[in-house]
Every structure is written in structure tokens, then in C-alpha cells.
Amino acid sequence: MSTDEEYAALLRERADAGVRGSHVSGEVALGSVRRGLRRRRARSAAVGAGLAATLVVGGAVGLPALEDAAPVAPAAPPSAASAPDLEPVDGVRLMDPRARGVERADGLTVLDTGLDAWADGQRFLLVLHGSAGEAPARVDVHVGDDATFGALVDATTLPPPVWTTPDTSTAVLVSPDERHALVLGATQDDGVGDHALLLWDALGTDGAQERSLPVLLSGGEVEPEATAEGVTFAHAVLWALTVDAGTGTVPQPRGVLSDYQPVHPPTSTGLLEACDVAECVATWDGTGTATDGPVRFLAPRSVDDLPGHAEALAALADVSPVATTAERRAACADAREAAEQAAGAGSSARDRATQCVADDLEAGLLASAGTVG
């Protein structure tokens, strides 16, 4: 059996063992790693488009998990020129990578997202819990101000949270009218490349229909690096953002896309599918604790229904086999733009470029599956 065939067989074996978008598969896959290893390093975690598993293109295999939360050291404010863009899309605000975090005496980390909640004068505060024994890792969501943050750091016993979400790729807390949302998750970080939250539904911004949002990874490590059975796993870090959909509703997340370029060859690009279990979605009315979330966030979707997707794959199939990554994605972006114009729709160049990273990933997986059979 050739090396390519062995690699494809390994991917299929891991795919059969995976659970799409669920934190449970991460617990199963990394259980032995947590017990024996404390530090780890990797290229990337990836879920192939439409495949019910963690797959990878040019990297390693793994799911992020929240464990052994490390404190997020506050950094000095950078110059305006170097400060990250925290409002890249109208109605969207990202958690600052330099978000204030403090480690409690019991080892838990309290993180101030700086993101406003839909309750006057309140913002979202997170407490990161690593797994302990049979108890899985989780994130507790609180709301409050500076005084609340201090109390969360100093309290001997933590107060009940607004919501608790499990270790997962994406979790969504929405307002009752579904116009506002806190979206958060953990993803593996190789220290280079960009990340984006892909959406199944368009978020209307200034006349454009965006189906991707930039994601900024925080400075807080929520899962250490480790290596097991020759497979290396990058540390996982938390990200968070809020969405104000205006007169519309918050889109359903599709997954988190990573595009590690440039990295040590081979390059690594991955799509970690959104969590699709009920524990990952909740509704909060601004008081008390959260209740069950809208079931629409858990509905299965198909990439075949995404506008411009078929045209993008057709364009990628026609590209020369020796074309560079940049050439492939340029052809994809041109095809998407033409399809949008024909449909009387529109998106930003940034959004088309992001979608084409996912399109190129899927095209590669489809080609590999067809070749290996």
C-alpha cells in the first residue's frame, strides 16, 4: 500500500471514530493525552467539509479541549497602528486578544471579554474550568461590570453563571428575539495564519451579504500542547465575539476555519465544524439564567445550498494541477464574484477570499477521495 493510500486509510479510520461538531469526540480522542502529557505542539486541527470527523490537509489531527486554563497576562496598550480591528464587520465585535484575565487561587481563569451584553451596563465575563476526573471541561458565562469581575476572581465560592457551555468548537448564546448573540469557542493555535467563523446564513452588512467573520484568538491557553502516538496537538485558545444582526436574526455558525500560511511545509488549512448538540446553544433574556436555545442552530445543513459554492468548486476543478495556492484561490474568488453578480447579490472581497479557503479545502478532499477511491 502506498504512503498516500495509508494516509487516506488513516483519515477514514479517524473519520469513522469521530462525532461531528461534538465536544464528546474531543473528550474521547484526547482523554489519554490529558492524563499523560502536559505540553503539546502541532500544525492544525481540521474537520473536512461535510465529513463527520476531524480531518487535516497537511497537518495533524485533533480537537481542541478546555483544560488547565492559563492566566491571560494583561498587555500594555499597543499603538493605534498595531491595535487589532475589533469591529471588522458592521454589527460584530471581537474579543480583544489582549483581554484581561486573572488566575484564581484554585487555578481557574477569569476572563473579561470586554464584549457588551444585552443588559444595560453589563458585559460578558468567562470562567474557564479544566476537566477534573469525570467532570468535562467547560466555560461558565457570567455578566457584570468591574466589581463583578473582581468578585469572580476573589470569591471562595463562585456564584451561579448565566450559562455553562461545554468544551466545544462553537457555542451560541442568543437574545429572545435572536437579534443579538455571544458566540465563543476554542481552537488550536499554531501561532500563524488567520482564523474565521463561517456562517450558514448571510449577515447583512452595508448592502453586502457576509458569510464569514474574522476571529481573533485570545492570549489565554485553555488546553496545553501534547503529543501521543506520533500525532502532535497544538495548544487550544479561546475566542469570542458578539453579533448584532440589526433587524435580522443571528446566522447559524458553520464552523471555524484556520488558514495557517505561511507555515513549515506542508501548509495546513482546516475547518472545525460547529457544535450541533443542544448544550452548545442557549437563550438569555438579560436576567437570571439562560434557557434552551433555538433548535434552528442545530439543524443539519449542506454546502451544496451555499450561494456560489458549486461555481467555486467548478472553477477549482479547472485550475491547472501545478497552479499555486494563490492562483487557485484567485480563480475561486473570480467565480464567486461572477455568481454573485449574476444573482444580484454581493459580498466583500474579504468574505469571498475566506469562503475560497474553505472551497479549496473541500476541493482537495474531494480530489483525494476520488483518487484513492
How many Å apart are CA 213 and CA 183, to the nearest integer?
Answer: 11
Q: What is the pLDDT of residue 272?
A: 86
Q: What is the pLDDT of residue 82?
A: 64
CB atoms within 10 A of CB 329: 23
Q: Is the pLDDT of residue 239 over 80?
A: yes
pLDDT in tens, 163-213: 999 878 899 999 999 999 999 998 876 666 688 999 999 987 555 689 999
Q: What is the rounded average pLDDT of the residues 224-229?
A: 56
Backbone φ and ψ of 330, nearest 5° = -65, -40
User: What does the buried/exposed string (b/e) look like for 79-88 if buried means 16 or more CB atoms within 10 Å of the residue's CB?
Assistant: eeeeeeebeb
pLDDT in tens, 271-325: 889 999 999 999 999 999 999 999 999 999 999 999 999 999 999 999 998 999 8
pLDDT in tens, 333-373: 999 999 988 888 888 899 999 999 999 989 988 887 774 33
Q: Is the pLDDT of residue 260 over 90?
A: no
93 compared with 193, residue with greater pLDDT: 93
Amino acid at site 311: E
Amino acid at site 170: T
Nearest partner of 99 among 243, 253, 241, 282, judged by Cα: 241
Cα Rg for the chain, rounded, in angstroms?
20
Structure pTM? 0.76
Q: What is the pLDDT of residue 164?
A: 95
Task: Locate the DSSP E strands across 104-235.
Answer: 109-116, 123-129, 138-144, 163-166, 171-174, 180-188, 194-205, 208-215, 221-223, 226-228, 231-233
Using an 8 Å Cβ cutoff, are 93 and 184 in contact? no
The pLDDT-based confidence of 250 (bands split at 50, 70, 90) is very high
Q: What is the pLDDT of residue 190?
A: 63
Amino acid at site 23: H
Q: Which residues pair with 186 in a beta bridge?
A: 238
pLDDT above 70 covers a percentage of the chain that reads 66
Q: Is the pLDDT of residue 225 over 80?
A: no
Omega of the bond leading into 251 within 30 degrees of 0 (cis): no
| Set of cell numbers at residue 287 | 436576567
